[in-house]
Structure 1
Protein backbone atom coordinates (compact mmCIF):
# COMPACT_ATOMS: atom_id res chain seq x y z
CA UNK A 1 0.00 0.00 0.00
CA UNK A 2 1.10 3.57 -0.54
CA UNK A 3 1.23 6.08 2.32
CA UNK A 4 2.47 9.59 3.03
CA UNK A 5 5.12 9.49 5.75
CA UNK A 6 7.97 11.41 7.34
CA UNK A 7 10.97 10.45 9.45
CA UNK A 8 12.49 13.83 10.19
CA UNK A 9 11.18 17.14 11.51
CA UNK A 10 10.37 19.83 8.96
CA UNK A 11 7.87 21.43 6.65
CA UNK A 12 5.78 19.75 3.97
CA UNK A 13 8.96 18.96 2.04
CA UNK A 14 9.83 16.12 4.49
CA UNK A 15 6.67 14.20 3.49
CA UNK A 16 7.28 11.43 1.01
CA UNK A 17 5.35 8.63 -0.59
CA UNK A 18 6.33 5.21 0.80
CA UNK A 19 5.32 1.66 -0.03
CA UNK A 20 4.29 -0.42 3.01
CA UNK A 21 3.13 -4.02 3.36
CA UNK A 22 -0.65 -4.46 3.23
CA UNK A 23 -2.01 -4.66 6.78
CA UNK A 24 -3.99 -7.65 8.06
CA UNK A 25 -6.94 -7.02 10.38
CA UNK A 26 -6.81 -8.57 13.83
CA UNK A 27 -9.65 -9.69 16.10
CA UNK A 28 -12.55 -7.18 16.11
CA UNK A 29 -10.82 -5.03 13.44
CA UNK A 30 -11.66 -4.08 9.88
CA UNK A 31 -9.49 -3.53 6.83
CA UNK A 32 -10.65 -0.55 4.78
CA UNK A 33 -9.76 0.79 1.36
CA UNK A 34 -9.07 4.48 1.96
CA UNK A 35 -10.67 6.86 -0.52
CA UNK A 36 -9.68 10.11 1.21
CA UNK A 37 -7.29 10.86 4.05
CA UNK A 38 -6.49 14.07 5.85
CA UNK A 39 -3.76 15.33 8.12
CA UNK A 40 -5.04 16.64 11.41
CA UNK A 41 -3.49 19.40 13.49
CA UNK A 42 -1.68 16.93 15.76
CA UNK A 43 0.00 15.25 12.79
CA UNK A 44 1.18 18.62 11.47
CA UNK A 45 2.53 19.53 14.92
CA UNK A 46 4.37 16.19 15.11
CA UNK A 47 5.94 16.76 11.68
CA UNK A 48 7.02 20.25 12.81
CA UNK A 49 8.69 18.78 15.91
CA UNK A 50 6.30 20.05 18.58
CA UNK A 51 6.22 16.56 20.15
CA UNK A 52 9.90 15.78 19.57
CA UNK A 53 11.55 14.02 16.68
CA UNK A 54 9.68 11.06 15.13
CA UNK A 55 10.92 7.59 16.00
CA UNK A 56 11.31 6.02 12.58
CA UNK A 57 8.85 6.25 9.71
CA UNK A 58 5.64 8.02 10.79
CA UNK A 59 2.61 7.45 8.57
CA UNK A 60 0.13 10.31 8.26
CA UNK A 61 -3.55 10.37 7.42
CA UNK A 62 -5.10 9.09 10.64
CA UNK A 63 -8.42 10.66 9.65
CA UNK A 64 -9.74 8.71 6.68
CA UNK A 65 -12.86 7.59 4.86
CA UNK A 66 -13.40 4.67 2.54
CA UNK A 67 -15.03 1.26 2.30
CA UNK A 68 -14.67 -1.81 4.48
CA UNK A 69 -12.82 -4.53 2.56
CA UNK A 70 -12.71 -7.24 5.22
CA UNK A 71 -13.63 -7.67 8.90
CA UNK A 72 -12.64 -10.12 11.60
CA UNK A 73 -15.24 -10.74 14.28
CA UNK A 74 -14.34 -11.03 17.92
Structure 2
Protein backbone atom coordinates (compact mmCIF):
# COMPACT_ATOMS: atom_id res chain seq x y z
CA UNK A 1 0.00 0.00 0.00
CA UNK A 2 2.80 2.41 0.92
CA UNK A 3 4.62 1.87 -2.36
CA UNK A 4 1.43 2.29 -4.33
CA UNK A 5 0.85 5.69 -2.74
CA UNK A 6 4.48 6.67 -3.37
CA UNK A 7 4.22 5.68 -7.04
CA UNK A 8 1.01 7.67 -7.49
CA UNK A 9 2.54 10.72 -5.79
CA UNK A 10 5.71 10.49 -7.87
CA UNK A 11 3.68 10.22 -11.09
CA UNK A 12 1.68 13.26 -10.00
CA UNK A 13 4.86 15.25 -9.27
CA UNK A 14 6.44 14.25 -12.59
CA UNK A 15 3.29 15.18 -14.50
CA UNK A 16 2.98 18.56 -12.81
CA UNK A 17 6.64 19.47 -13.34
CA UNK A 18 6.40 18.45 -16.99
CA UNK A 19 3.29 20.58 -17.40
CA UNK A 20 4.94 23.55 -15.67
CA UNK A 21 8.17 23.43 -17.68
CA UNK A 22 6.36 22.78 -20.97
CA UNK A 23 4.17 25.86 -20.45
CA UNK A 24 7.24 27.86 -19.48
CA UNK A 25 8.98 26.69 -22.66
CA UNK A 26 6.00 27.45 -24.91
CA UNK A 27 4.76 30.71 -23.37
CA UNK A 28 7.89 32.00 -21.66
CA UNK A 29 8.31 33.00 -18.03
CA UNK A 30 5.42 34.71 -16.29
CA UNK A 31 6.98 38.08 -15.52
CA UNK A 32 3.89 39.44 -13.75
CA UNK A 33 3.90 36.59 -11.23
CA UNK A 34 7.61 37.15 -10.53
CA UNK A 35 7.00 40.85 -9.91
CA UNK A 36 4.15 40.09 -7.52
CA UNK A 37 6.38 37.82 -5.41
CA UNK A 38 9.23 40.34 -5.48
CA UNK A 39 6.83 42.91 -4.05
CA UNK A 40 5.48 40.50 -1.42
CA UNK A 41 8.85 39.27 -0.16
CA UNK A 42 9.89 42.44 1.76
CA UNK A 43 6.45 42.59 3.37
CA UNK A 44 6.77 38.97 4.52
CA UNK A 45 10.24 39.62 5.96
CA UNK A 46 8.95 42.67 7.82
CA UNK A 47 6.01 40.72 9.28
CA UNK A 48 8.25 37.84 10.37
CA UNK A 49 10.68 40.23 12.07
CA UNK A 50 7.83 42.01 13.85
CA UNK A 51 6.39 38.69 15.03
CA UNK A 52 9.82 37.54 16.23
CA UNK A 53 10.43 40.82 18.04
CA UNK A 54 7.04 40.62 19.77
CA UNK A 55 7.68 37.08 20.99
CA UNK A 56 11.07 38.12 22.44
CA UNK A 57 9.63 41.04 24.39
CA UNK A 58 6.58 39.20 25.73
CA UNK A 59 8.29 36.17 27.25
CA UNK A 60 6.60 35.06 30.45
CA UNK A 61 8.32 35.99 33.67
CA UNK A 62 9.34 32.85 35.55
CA UNK A 63 10.54 34.72 38.65
CA UNK A 64 7.19 34.87 40.38
CA UNK A 65 7.33 34.69 44.16
CA UNK A 66 5.73 31.80 45.93
CA UNK A 67 2.87 32.41 48.32
CA UNK A 68 4.72 30.91 51.29
Give the shorter-chain TM-score range: under 0.3
Over alpha carbons, which structure has the higher Rg? Answer: 2
Q: Whose strand fraction is larger, Structure 1's or Structure 2's? A: 1
Task: Report which structure shows greater RCO (CA 8 Å, sep ≥6).
Answer: 1
Q: Whose helix fraction is larger, Structure 1's or Structure 2's? A: 2
Give TM-score scaled by structure 2 length.
0.23
